[in-house]
């Protein structure tokens, strides 16, 4: 509503302004007698107060008839307002344009005075023009008869001047050659060459022509000598070639001589560049020599040339020496042999132009190939250094300076070749970083192995979680540091399109550096599964490292790489990229293999202790058991240590609910059965075997070497299963006496008291220990078991 109320006054003001504008236009038309053209006949309205035919009496009569008294009063008020408004506007116009009226009056007065002077001057001009016309007619009449004679005399005078120049030409040429003003001599000769050749059949001109030819031959010899002089500057070479071409010497021969002279100077530059590459390869350092103060500048420069330059100095040396010279050679060559031929002969010399251009391209391409070879060899020597800024500055300067050669001679494609060198250099730099990452990973592994093998001083050995965190942070930070260095170093090259961002970011950085390093870490960890010398703690730590790679590290590192080195879909089209899911799957598979290998290693260690303890004991003639064997205590201690070790890296995991009598596993006589106890009644060997087989039918099959889950309980369960399975198999191969059976009862009860805490299902321990006792009973000659209370006393006593 407020917007509507505000809009109405603006519309009313606009309508009033348009009405006033129409009134003014109507008054102007009425004053100047202008009527609007229309296809319809004009209708005269005497009551239109703004019209040309307005009649007040008719207007008033119409108002009196149609309007009431109040309307008439309103009309009167409205007309009065309009009159006052018009008066105010008129006064305003007069006030605003008063100075203009005064100025217009003065201008009109001045124009009247000036026009009077102009009329007088125009009269004088007309008189002067008539006088000039009369004099012109008189001169034309006077000289009419002598005009042809004057023209003839003027032509003779010009011819005499030319003849005088021709007769003086030999002396002039000889004098110019003696003063070594070759350009002036060539200009004199070319000016008169056509005339001498045309009139050479006349005796007088024939002698002049011969003299000039002899002098010009000497001139050509001297110009060619200067062209072959190694000390001639490029400006002198260009001048010699220009003069010889004006003397119509064969262009192809001059091309060869010009390029041969330029080749000597360019080979000197290449020789300097090659010497620097050899110095860098040999690792020679500048030799310090004190020759005295009288050592001249030339020897100083020679000793300086023996100092190996850094990469930026090397590139500057090549650009300022070789590339600058080759640009000057190309520009001079094209100006003398290509542009001149086109300008002088046009389309007639297309074949010659093609030959001249091919010679230049072949010459420049051979030299540029050698230069690229030396430059790339020098850049490769910098791949192992850590100064990225210097390398990038050198590459960028190298590529920019090549653009001058590319613009002068785009046919040979030196810009593309230079860009390929820069791209290969960036690729080699990435390979060097990849090598550094591998070395860093190897150092981290060595540090961890040393920490696990020899803890420093009396301090406790570092926990595996701390070692894992340190290793993960070290690898991630090193990779981030290298990515940042690459980003800062190659940003200018990528922006300037020196190297293509698509292949570089996708193939080199993402795949060649990050993904390749992840593959290296995973494959290096996988190789430990094949080596039996690696400590079990390292295997466990690497399994957790691979699992962390699968869960977070791989996605984080690749997302960071894609953020710092983005690749558009169009630029990255055709590049093969490894997905995060593929790497994560590989990492999880390797982590599983390492964890399974760790379980087998620890199970094998415990199995070896059990096997030796069973095989080296005489179970038939053993004494009555009074305590638990030391090997069983050692097994419990080792399993406890493994539990602590695995708990540093893996979570607890899921285990089944424990019964209230988990540690009360005993074998009792038939007269003392207990529902809450595991019992076994031995009557005969046949009954015992039958009962054991019946129990196996209703129990789940136990997979001893199955894959474990990524949890502490699962790992400990796998190790315990291997140990108990070994105990069972060793018992089956021995023959026991009475006290041997009782010792096995004591040992299995002791193991039951402690091992049930580490496994996911206590029934598994119960079942396997029951199998051990059953096998012992079956292999016993006099199966007489010990009282459960005695077993408990012995086990509690330890």
In order, the DSSP letters of 94-140 are HHHTHHHHHHHHHHHHHHHHHHHHHHHHHHHHHHHHHHHHHHHHHHH
For residues 712 and 644, what is the distance between their CA atoms, to the nearest angstrom?
9
CB-count exposure of residue 138 (10 Å: 0-12, 13-18, 19+): exposed
Structure tokens at 311: 């990469």
The pLDDT of residue 285 is: 45
**What are residue 736's DSSP bridge partners?**
780
- Quick one: DSSP state of residue 349? G
The pLDDT score that the predictor gives to residue 61 is 84
Contacts of range 726-733, beta carbons closer than 8 Å, 24 or more positions apart = 726/603, 726/606, 726/607, 726/610, 726/611, 727/610, 727/614, 727/772, 728/768, 728/771, 728/772, 728/775, 730/610, 730/611, 730/614, 730/615, 731/614, 731/772, 731/775, 731/776, 731/779, 732/775, 732/779
Q: Considering the entire predicted model, what is its pTM? A: 0.62
- The pLDDT value recorded for residue 197 is 66
pLDDT in tens, 10-45: 555 666 667 666 766 666 565 555 554 444 455 777
Q: Please report where in the chains the tokens 């001139």 appear, as a residue.
A: 219
Average pLDDT, integer, range 61-83: 86
Highest mean pLDDT among 244-253, 605-614, 699-708: 605-614
Lowest mean pLDDT among 266-280, 296-310, 750-764: 296-310
Contacts of 220 (CB under 8 A, 6+ apart): 244, 247, 249
The 10s digit of each residue's pLDDT in 483-496 is 888 777 664 555 44
Residue 294 near residue 263 (C-beta atoms within 8 A): no
pLDDT at res. 689: 54
**pLDDT given at position 500:** 59
Which pLDDT does position 346 carry in this prediction?
45
Q: Provide the pLDDT confidence category of residue 188 given band limits of 50, 70 and 90.
A: confident
Q: Which residues contact 591 (CB under 8 A, 6 or more apart)?
A: 543, 544, 545, 546, 547, 549, 550, 710
pLDDT tens-digit readout, 411-433: 888 888 888 888 888 888 888 88
Quickly state the pLDDT bin for 705 (edges 50, 70, 90).
low
> Is residue 589 scored above 90 in pLDDT?
yes
Between these two residues, 140 and 592, which has the higher pLDDT value? 592
Backbone angles phi, psi at 676, to 5 degrees: -90, 10
> Which of the residue ranges 104-108, 250-254, 336-340, 343-347 would you say has the lowest mean pLDDT?
343-347
| pLDDT given for residue 693 in this prediction | 56
Between 41 and 142, name the one with better pLDDT: 142
CA geometry: angle 784, 790, 795, nearest 5 deg: 115
Element (H, E) at 341: helix 340-345
Question: What pLDDT, on the 0 to 100 scale, is given for residue 497?
Answer: 54
83 has pLDDT over 70: yes
Give the per-residue pLDDT at 546: 92
What share of the chain has pLDDT > 90, as a percent?
A: 9
CA–CA separation, 133 and 295 (whole Å)? 87
More confident residue, 759 or 233: 759
**Predicted pLDDT of residue 513:** 87
Contacts of 386 (CB under 8 A, 6+ apart): none
Position with higher pLDDT, 576 vs 700: 576
Q: What Rg do the C-alpha atoms of the chain give, in angstroms?
A: 56
What pLDDT sits at residue 289?
A: 39
The C-alpha atoms of residue 783 and residue 736 are separated, in whole angstroms, by 9
Asked if residue 275 has pLDDT above 80, the reply is yes
What's the CA gap between 306 and 197, in Å, rounded?
59
Please name the residues in contact with 555: beta carbons below 8 A apart, sequence gap of 6 or more.
Answer: 580, 584
SS3 357: helix
Question: How high is the pLDDT of residue 489?
Answer: 64
Supply the pLDDT for residue 49: 77
Q: Two tokens at 183?
A: 């350009």
More confident residue, 153 or 29: 153
Q: Which of 14-18, 62-66, 241-245, 638-642 has the lowest mean pLDDT?
A: 14-18
**Band of pLDDT at residue 591, cut at 50, 70 and 90:** very high
Residue 796 pLDDT: 83
* pLDDT(295) > 50: no
Q: Which value, to the nearest 10 degrees, does the dihedral of the CA atoms of residues 61, 66, 70, 73 take? A: -30
Whether residue 572 has pLDDT greater than 70: no
Yes or no: say if 724 and 763 are a contact pair by the CB < 8 Å rule: no
Cα separation, 405 vs 398, whole angstroms:
11
Specify the pLDDT at position 1: 43
The conformation of residue 509, written as its DSSP 8-state character, comes to: I
């Amino acid at each position: 509503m407020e917007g509507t109320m505000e809009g109405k006054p603006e519309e009313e003001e606009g309508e009033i302004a348009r009405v006033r504008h129409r009134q003014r236009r109507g008054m102007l038309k009425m004053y100047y007698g202008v009527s609007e053209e229309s296809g319809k006949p004009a209708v005269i309205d005497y009551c239109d107060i703004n019209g040309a035919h307005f009649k007040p009496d008719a207007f008033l009569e119409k108002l009196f008839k149609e309007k009431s008294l109040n309307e008439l009063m309103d009309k009167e008020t409205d007309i009065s307002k309009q009159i006052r408004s018009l008066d105010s506007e008129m006064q305003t116009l007069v006030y605003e344009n008063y100075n203009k009226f005064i100025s217009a009056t003065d201008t009109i007065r001045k124009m009247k005075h000036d026009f009077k002077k102009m009329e007088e001057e125009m009269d004088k001009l007309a008189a002067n023009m008539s006088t000039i016309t009369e004099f012109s007619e008189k001169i034309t009449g006077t000289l009419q008869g002598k005009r042809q004679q004057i023209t003839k005399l003027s032509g003779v005078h010009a011819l005499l001047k030319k003849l005088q120049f021709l007769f003086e030409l030999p002396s002039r040429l000889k004098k110019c050659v003696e003063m070594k003003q070759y350009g002036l001599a060539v200009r004199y000769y070319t000016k008169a060459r056509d005339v001498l050749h045309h009139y050479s059949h006349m005796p007088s001109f024939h002698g002049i022509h011969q003299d000039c030819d002899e002098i010009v031959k000497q001139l050509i010899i001297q110009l060619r000598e200067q062209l072959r002089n190694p000390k001639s500057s490029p400006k002198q070479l260009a001048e010699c070639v220009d003069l010889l071409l004006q003397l119509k010497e064969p262009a192809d021969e001059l091309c060869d001589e010009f390029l041969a002279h330029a080749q000597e100077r360019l080979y000197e530059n290449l020789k300097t560049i090659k010497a620097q590459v050899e110095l860098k390869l040999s690792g020679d350092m500048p030799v310090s020599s004190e020759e005295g103060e009288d050592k001249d500048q030339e020897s100083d420069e020679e000793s300086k040339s023996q100092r190996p330059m850094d990469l930026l100095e090397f590139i500057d040396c090549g650009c300022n020496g070789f590339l600058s010279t080759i640009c000057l050679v190309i520009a001079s060559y094209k100006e003398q042999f290509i542009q001149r031929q086109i300008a002088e002969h046009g389309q007639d010399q297309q074949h010659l132009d093609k030959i001249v251009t091919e010679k230049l391209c072949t010459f420049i391409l051979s030299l540029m190939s050698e230069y690229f070879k030396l430059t790339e060899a020098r850049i490769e020597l910098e791949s192992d250094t850590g100064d990225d800024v210097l390398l990038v500055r050198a590459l960028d300067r190298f590529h920019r300076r090549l653009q001058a050669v590319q613009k002068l001679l785009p046919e040979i494609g030196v810009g593309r070749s230079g860009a390929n060198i820069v791209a290969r250099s960036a690729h080699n730099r990435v390979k060097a970083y990849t090598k550094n990452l591998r070395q860093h990973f190897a150092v981290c592994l060595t540090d961890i192995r040393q920490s696990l093998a020899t803890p420093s001083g009396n301090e406790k050995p570092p926990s595996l979680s701390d070692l894992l965190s340190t290793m993960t942070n070290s690898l991630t930070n090193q990779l981030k540091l290298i990515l940042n260095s690459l980003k800062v170093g190659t940003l200018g090259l990528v922006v300037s399109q020196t190297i293509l961002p698509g292949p570089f970011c996708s193939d080199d950085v993402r795949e060649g550096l990050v993904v390749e390093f992840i593959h290296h870490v995973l494959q290096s960890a996988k190789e430990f599964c094949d080596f039996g010398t690696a400590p079990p703690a390292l295997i466990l730590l690497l399994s957790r490292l691979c699992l962390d790679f699968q869960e977070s590290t791989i996605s984080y590192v690749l997302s960071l790489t894609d953020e710092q080195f983005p690749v558009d879909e169009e630029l990255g089209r055709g590049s093969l990229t490894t997905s995060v899911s593929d790497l994560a799957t590989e990492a999880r598979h390797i982590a599983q293999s390492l964890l399974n290998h760790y379980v087998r290693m620890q199970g094998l260690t415990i199995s070896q202790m059990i096997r030796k303890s069973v095989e080296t004991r005489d179970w038939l003639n053993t004494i009555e058991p009074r305590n638990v064997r030391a090997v069983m205590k050692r097994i419990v201690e080792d399993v406890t240590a493994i539990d602590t070790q695995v708990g540093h890296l893996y979570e607890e995991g899921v285990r089944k609910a424990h019964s209230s009598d988990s540690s009360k596993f005993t074998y009792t006589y038939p007269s003392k059965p207990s529902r809450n106890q595991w019992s076994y009644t031995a009557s005969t060997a046949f009954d015992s075997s039958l009962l054991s087989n019946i129990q196996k039918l209703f129990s789940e099959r136990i997979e001893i070497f199955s894959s474990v889950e990524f949890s502490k309980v699962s790992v400990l369960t796998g190790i315990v299963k291997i140990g108990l399975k070994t105990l069972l198999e060793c018992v089956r191969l021995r023959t026991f006496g009475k006290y041997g059976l009782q010792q096995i009862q004591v040992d299995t009860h002791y193991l039951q008291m402690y091992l049930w805490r580490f496994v996911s299902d206590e029934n598994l321990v119960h079942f396997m220990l029951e199998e051990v006792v059953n096998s012992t009973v079956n292999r016993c000659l006099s199966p007489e078991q010990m009282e459960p209370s005695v077993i408990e006393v012995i086990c509690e006593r330890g």
